[in-house]
Amino acid sequence: MGLFSKIRDGLKKTKDSFIGTIQRVANSFTKIDEELFEQLEETMIMSDIGVETSLEICNCLRKKIKERGIIDPSMIMELIQEVIAEIMGDDTGLDLTVSPAVIMVIGVNGAGKTTTIGKLCHQFRAEGKKVIVAAADTFRAAAIDQLQVWTDRAGVELVKHSEGSDPGAVVYDALEAAKARHCDVVIIDTAGRLHNKKNLMDELAKINRIIDSKAGDCSREVLLVLDATTGQNAVNQARLFSETAPITGIVLTKLDGTAKGGIVISIKNELGIPVKLIGVGEKIDDLQPFDSRQFVDALFDGVVDAKSDDEIETESAEETDETEPEEIAESHEPEYEAESEPVPEPTEIETVNLDDDIDKTDNSDDEPTDESDSEEESDDEAETEEDLRPKKRSFFGKLFGGDRK
């Protein structure tokens, strides 16, 4: 299975929920108006895109529609895809240029930090890089044992101390070992923490100082691991962690198990932090470098084409005789009025024909004089339209006869 196929399959739930709902909203409108934009905004917010990002997308959509003079709602999906692609911008990969490159992994417990580290080790080893891992999560029970299983599976070295020891000492020893053994990458596992845990945040600052002193000139990455299934909570975590740690990138895990993958757009738009890795499966090779173009293409894969095909099928299935007169009456109404000013009598002929052939409910708007006359008459005479129509036809006959002369 190719990379794009994995991303497309991993985003299937997000595509069906987020993009599918937007497509249904766009298909339910016959014209582009403010009500359509309100429905789109509401749909995006309900899909966990976030209020700020939803408004940003719709504002950009309004500008593009106005600039290009678009009036067909069938083109909405193409424009939304274009707007999201612009928001995502260019990609930023991991910086591993100066060895030993140091990657510190942070995040709350349960987000998938240990699994992410194991998959990274496997990928780096497959690329021929020499990797060493620092088990600096000495706070959580069995965290070191779990990391040992992953490093053994990937075939990389692990530097560890006993449970409850100083995490800074583990990082110090790991950096010393990396330099002595000429390692390419050092991955540091840290304890799961929240922004309001002052002691853990102070510990994180201490680890950063040790890295500065021992590997100040090396490439640095601080990756925040977020669980995609938490939706907007993941965005809030990223915002809070960014206030206390120099985050360089996001790792978004469990993307294949949620319909809330649109938070990738929110993170990029609201925080400006690039998503560098995404998890689209449980296998060891299912941690993929994030490609914004592939992400957007996977979300909208087949949506625009399928939409146009559906429109063609619905247009062929519906009776055009019923729909076309209404559209003509609405779109050419100003032309009828312009022609009726110099020649008032033909204007009455056209409005009566439209009323007789299209809709009885328009009689109140197109024949104000007939309504005023009918209100003065009795109820029996007002309800019998058959008595009025012969009079109008005889009147038309006189007019037509006059024209023939």
pLDDT digits (tens, 9 = 90+) for 37-87: 999 999 888 887 888 999 999 999 999 999 999 888 888 899 999 999 999
CA distance 226 to 238: 8
pLDDT digits (tens, 9 = 90+) for 175-203: 999 999 999 999 999 887 665 566 777 78
CA distance 112 to 145: 15
What pLDDT, on the 0 to 100 scale, is given for residue 165? Answer: 87
Residue with tokens 């104000």: 368
What pLDDT, on the 0 to 100 scale, is given for residue 196? Answer: 58
On average, the pLDDT of the chain sits at 76
Token pair listed for 41: 């905004």
What pLDDT, on the 0 to 100 scale, is given for residue 312? Answer: 35
pLDDT digits (tens, 9 = 90+) for 268-299: 888 888 889 988 877 887 888 888 888 888 88
Average pLDDT for residues 341-349, to the nearest whole number?
45
What pLDDT, on the 0 to 100 scale, is given for residue 58? Answer: 92
What pLDDT, on the 0 to 100 scale, is given for residue 198? Answer: 67
Q: Taking Cα atoms as reference points, which of 1, 4, 3 lies closest to residue 302?
A: 4
Average pLDDT for residues 113-133, to the nearest whole number?
92
Average pLDDT for residues 313-330, to the nearest whole number?
41
Residue 303 has pLDDT above 60, yes or no: yes
Burial per residue of 113-139, b for 16 or more beta-carbon CB atoms within 10 angstroms, e otherwise: bbbbbbbbbbbbeeeebbbbbbbbbbb
Burial class (CB in 10 A: 0-12, 13-18, 19+), 239: middle
pLDDT digits (tens, 9 = 90+) for 143-180: 889 999 999 998 999 999 988 888 999 999 999 999 99
Average pLDDT for residues 309-313, to the nearest whole number?
41
pLDDT digits (tens, 9 = 90+) for 2-23: 666 777 777 778 778 788 888 8
Residue 237 has pLDDT above 70, yes or no: yes
The region of weakest confidence among 8-17, 131-140, 320-329 is: 320-329
CB 202 within 8 A of CB 196: no
CB 104 within 8 A of CB 223: yes
Q: Backbone phi, then psi, for 289, in 5-degree steps? A: -60, 140
Strand order in the sheet with 157-159: 157-159, 131-135, 185-189, 101-106, 220-227, 249-253, 275-279, 287-289
Residue 253 makes CB contacts below 8 A (sequence gap 6+) with 111, 112, 115, 116, 225, 226, 227, 228, 278, 279
pLDDT digits (tens, 9 = 90+) for 197-233: 667 777 888 888 899 888 878 999 999 999 888 888 8
CB 192 within 8 A of CB 237: no
CB 84 within 8 A of CB 14: no
CB 192 within 8 A of CB 112: no
